Amino acid sequence: MKREPTKTSKVYAGTGLAIALAVNLLAVSCGDETQNPIASEPESTPQWELLTSGETLNDIWVGSDGSASAVGNTGTIFRWNGSRWLSENSGTAPNLTGIWGSSFGEQFVVGEGGTVLRFDGQEWQAQTTPTDEDLNAVWGFSSRDVYAVGDEGTILHYGGVRWDTVATAYNDDLYSIWGSSASNVYAVGFNGTIVRYDGTSWSVLTSGTSNSLYRVRGVSSSNITVVGADGIVLKYDGTGWNSITSPTSQDLHGVWPISDTSFWAVGDAGAVVSYVGSNWTVVTASTTVRLNSICGNSTGDIYAVGETGTILAHDGSRWNHSLSGLPGDLLSVWSESSSDIYICGSSGVIYHYDGNNFIPMNSTTGYSLYGLWGPSATDLFAVGDRGTIVHFDGSGWTRQTQGNSPDLFGVWGISSNDVFSVGANGRIIRYDGIGWRSMESGVSVTLYGVSGTSSQHVVAVGDSGMILSFDGTLWSVVDTDYDQTLRAVKSFSIEKVVATGDNGAIAELESDQWTITGEGLSGALLGLWGSSASDLFAVGEQGTILRFDGTSWTRMASNTAQTLRAASGAPGGDVFVVGDKGTVLRLRR
């Protein structure tokens, strides 16, 4: 099935703390650079909890023991551990489109470009396949008898040693596969295609429709259900295929039979329908996103998955959000407590998290918002594209600028009447409680982060290792030989400043000497938060999270490969991290 192309996002600036550049602003010189490896924290370390992910989920598998795994775009795999969903490292980036398992410890996943992964209960491993066609679905009868189907009529079979191509005479895309036994296997696809394997050969069946068919499932060889485009539903009774009038015209992408006479189906625009006996019920599922798949087990565990990371769970009477995704990239976060979190991002999105739900807010702008800061939850500033600034007074957001100036990336202040913002072309502006006015920075490079400890000590960082210091009167360039772009900064005192940026550099300047303690990571470090200089969290590309305890930096397992852009928390409280594709992580402590 042709899926949405993977989106390549530009790197936005983080606005929280960044990585470690302790700077003496009074006298600066450069010493030797040293490379110190960053150790991983032990498994006993508190784990990051995934609160949301906006990545599209394409399929889900549910085991008889209640275990569940969901797969989606850009290599996304989620696993249900009995209490919450955890993101797993798939080790791959292609969109993953289908999953099947014989048990929790034996699962197969397929995806774009002939991708096949196998899970052995401990880790996911890529398997070699004889095709580069997109694979759309997988089904099996044991770990030594598994089928995968895909574009151009591709059918593969795994016999326990290798994947082999099954020769067929047709080339229509195949979207789904299911079988009641190794000698009774069905695949469905484009233009009403239905093919069957009888244990010896594959043959084309007459479906009676030209609608594309997206999913096939059954309870026996004589009771099979197929759903597809425009709400079409087909039933096989052992002798032929019959069309059942559907209560929806939305495309149906998933079906799960409950018994011989009942099943669930899901599809576009949050469509959820139930069929019992000969009666249909259209169900309100509290979502309008496309639902791509539904699966369950005999004990009543039923899940549906879809766009923006949506996972719905049925509790026996109604559908509830088990995991709710947030659309777009999340670029900055501010928190006062674990139940009072504000998040901003691409296209002007702003959310308030109350400890249970993410509530969308009217930001009054469609421009992306990169930076967020405030002295309290009723006094917040967000800045972004084209110089946009919006302010929250506890009841609503209002626009303070019209969005016709250079982009703004960072914001920080001393109080509601003394706020600084930095951005493109060396732009620095200051708010005095009445209006914003420009300040002379003396530079033309883009500035990404700003932080300070008082109106006489403010630091801004940006491209080409730029560090600016404000003494209450003038901005001046701090003379260093450092040339890596710095993305964020945090000041703890006039002699202790922390900053990070590209290439994963962790740089510290003490006693007039620069030391590089973290450079060499594969990606940029974009955001950082800390309650003190001995309690720091740095986040960045490829799901990187680093933690500093006052002595050393250690790498934490984020269980996501998404780019992480900002972090925030309350002293001694939970830490929140946000990033691309609606990713929100929480560390309870």
In tens, the pLDDT along 94-149 reads 999 999 999 999 999 999 999 999 999 889 999 999 999 999 999 999 999 999 99
DSSP string, 3-56: PPPPPPPPPPPP-S--S-----SSS---------PPEEPPTTSPPEEEEE--SP
- Tell me, yes or no, whether 20 lies in a domain: no
| Domain end (from 275, 296, 323) | 323
- Tell me, yes or no, whether 580 lies in a domain: yes
Confidence of residue 16 (pLDDT cuts 50, 70, 90): very low
Cα–Cα distance list, 538 to 19, 459, 463, 490, 551 (Å): 6, 18, 19, 11, 15
Check: CB of residue 62 under 8 Å from CB of residue 301.
yes
Looking at the structure, do residues 283 and 414 belong to the same domain, yes or no?
no
Looking at the structure, do residues 231 and 349 belong to the same domain, yes or no?
no
| Domain end (from 323, 345, 376) | 323
| Domain end (from 283, 308, 323) | 323
- Tell me, yes or no, whether 499 lies in a domain: yes
Between 43 and 254, residue with greater pLDDT: 254
Looking at the structure, do residues 370 and 305 belong to the same domain, yes or no?
no
- Which of 25-29, 282-286, 410-414, 551-555 shows the lowest mean pLDDT across its residues? 25-29
- pLDDT over 90 (residue 384): yes
Domain count, the chain: 2
Looking at the structure, do residues 334 and 470 belong to the same domain, yes or no?
yes
Mean pLDDT of the chain: 89
Looking at the structure, do residues 446 and 466 belong to the same domain, yes or no?
yes
Instruction: Give me the pLDDT at residue 22, please.
Output: 37
> Any idea what DSSP says for residue 402?
-
Containing structural domain, residue 195 = 55-323
- pLDDT over 80 (residue 36): no
Confidence of residue 518 (pLDDT cuts 50, 70, 90): low
Looking at the structure, do residues 273 and 346 belong to the same domain, yes or no?
no
Entry pTM? 0.76
Looking at the structure, do residues 233 and 314 belong to the same domain, yes or no?
yes
- Tell me, yes or no, whether 2 lies in a domain: no
Looking at the structure, do residues 232 and 348 belong to the same domain, yes or no?
no
CATH number at residue 551: 2.130.10.10
- pLDDT over 70 (residue 1): no
Residues in CB range of 324: below 8 A, 6 or more apart: 52, 308, 309, 310, 311, 358
Question: Hey, which of 4-8, 49-53, 442-446, 514-518 has the most confident mean pLDDT?
Answer: 442-446
Looking at the structure, do residues 292 and 337 belong to the same domain, yes or no?
no
